[in-house]
Amino acid sequence: MKARAFSYFRARTVEEALDAHARGGDEARFIAGGQSLVPALALRLQAPRILIDINHIDELRGVRRDGEWLRIGALTRHCEMLSEPLIAEFAPLLRAAAPFVAHPAIRNRGTLGGSVALADPSSEFPAVVLALDAEIEIAGAAGRRRVRAGDFFLDLFETALAPGELLVAVHIPLFRSNQRIAFDELARRRGDYALVGCGIVGSFENDLIQDIRIAFFSVGNVPTRARHAEAALVGARMDADRIVAAQAGLDNDLAPADSDDVPPAMRLHLARVLLGRLLGRIGEAA
């Protein structure tokens, strides 16, 4: 299939992009890496009349330290998660997740902003920004604001972005020396979307888990914190009993929907297996 005819506008600033979108209304779409939007156009799942190219907006580029935060511009490509030294040092969970996102050709073009704005429930990065307690910087007609990741993902492909708003950057609290991370997913083939995936950040004090954030993806409409599992771990040592208790907590945390490929009970089982592996790795590292 071919995409419906559309006009093209190359924005040079955030303001130009917002103005162009306001003029186009429902018929306008921003395009970043195009790795999700272009297939949707080709299949006519979407048929906008105007595409606003945001790839030439300098403000959306670059990774830099900003006080206690790492500011990652929306246009940062998935492949940069693997090559950018500041991400390795200050946001290693993003780096750990990147090899699981699609294939090299897609990682060369796809952007962090596009992945977070799209909010595909099977995507790695939305869950990672949730685990990291990141803040999403948004620009719109009413000005700028920052939204915590926990308040950003609202429902299936639905976020706190209002129509015509632009995701400018993702701000991540700097990784600290007492923290440990782990990321993994279970997929039928490397590069496929995960059957279930999980990212974890834990802080330790004298071998005790001070704080831990566990975020799953591919188990519901939005990336999901495993709060009962977290509560089973805080204040304890990471030993076998605690890991079993955290796995049991998932019964209250996750409610996978019925789907053609994996029954809910199987997905929950896979989530427990994955959590056990990841907590074991974090325990060894600590």
Closer to ligand FAD by Cβ: residue 39 or 235: 39
Considering only 31, 72, 209, 214, the residue that binds ligand FAD (CB under 6 A) is 31
Q: What is the dihedral of CA 32, 116, 87, 64, to 10 degrees?
A: 70
Assess 117 for contact with ligand FAD (CB under 6 A). Answer: yes
Closer to ligand FAD by Cβ: residue 128 or 212: 128
Q: How many residues bind ligand FAD (CB under 6 A)?
A: 29
Considering only 59, 80, 84, 124, the residue that binds ligand FAD (CB under 6 A) is 124
Taking the C-alpha atoms of residue 112 and residue 187, their distance in angstroms, rounded to an integer, is 21
Both tokens assigned to 283: 């325990």
Assess 115 for contact with ligand FAD (CB under 6 A). Answer: yes
Q: Write down the least CB distance from residue 231 to ligand FAD, Å.
A: 28
Assess 283 for contact with ligand FAD (CB under 6 A). Answer: no
Considering only 70, 81, 118, 149, the residue that binds ligand FAD (CB under 6 A) is 118
Assess 214 for contact with ligand FAD (CB under 6 A). Answer: no
The count of other CB atoms within 10 Å of the CB of residue 15 is 13
Report residue 90: phi and psi, to 5°.
-110, -10
Select from 28-36, 142-150, 172-180, 249-257 the region that touches ligand FAD (CB under 6 A). Answer: 28-36
Q: Write down the least CB distance from residue 194 to ligand FAD, Å.
A: 7
Considering only 21, 29, 225, 272, the residue that binds ligand FAD (CB under 6 A) is 29
Contact 204, 212 (CB under 8 A): no
Assess 193 for contact with ligand FAD (CB under 6 A). Answer: yes
CA 14 to chain centre: 22
Report the site for ligand FAD in 46-75 (rule: CB under 6 A): 54, 74
Assess 106 for contact with ligand FAD (CB under 6 A). Answer: yes
Select from 7-15, 118-126, 141-149, 258-266 the region that touches ligand FAD (CB under 6 A). Answer: 118-126
Assess 179 for contact with ligand FAD (CB under 6 A). Answer: no
Considering only 11, 14, 18, 35, the residue that binds ligand FAD (CB under 6 A) is 35
Closer to ligand FAD by Cβ: residue 73 or 249: 73
Assess 231 for contact with ligand FAD (CB under 6 A). Answer: no
Contact 112, 74 (CB under 8 A): yes
Binding footprint of ligand FAD on the chain (CB under 6 A): 29-37, 39, 54, 74, 101-102, 106, 110-111, 113-115, 117-118, 120, 123-124, 161, 166-167, 193
